[in-house]
Amino acid sequence: MVIVEFEAEIKKWGNSQGIIIPQEHAKKFMQKKVKVHLMEPEDPMKQYDGTLNLDTPIDQLMREIDEELWDE
């Protein structure tokens, strides 16, 4: 089994909806059976696994969370 991973959006195409597969993968797997696994978009808040110090002021906590989540 070959596993290929890529990101794609579900888009409306005519009267139906579908996934656009990158050309290199479409050519490789043309006329073959494939399994598709759909995943929910990741929630950035679920990725936070730090510890909260409840003695810290809320504005400082929010700044620290923003720095960790969005400083990429």
Provide DSSP, 25-49: HHHHHTTS-------PPP-GGGG--
Using one digit for the tens of pLDDT, what is the confidence trace for 15-60?
888 888 888 888 888 888 888 887 777 766 665 556 655 677 878 8
Using one digit for the tens of pLDDT, what is the confidence trace for 1-11?
777 888 887 78
0.85 surpassed by pTM: no
Whole-number Å distance between alpha carbons of 58 and 37: 39
Spatial CB neighbours of 28, under 8 Å, sequence gap ≥ 6: 4
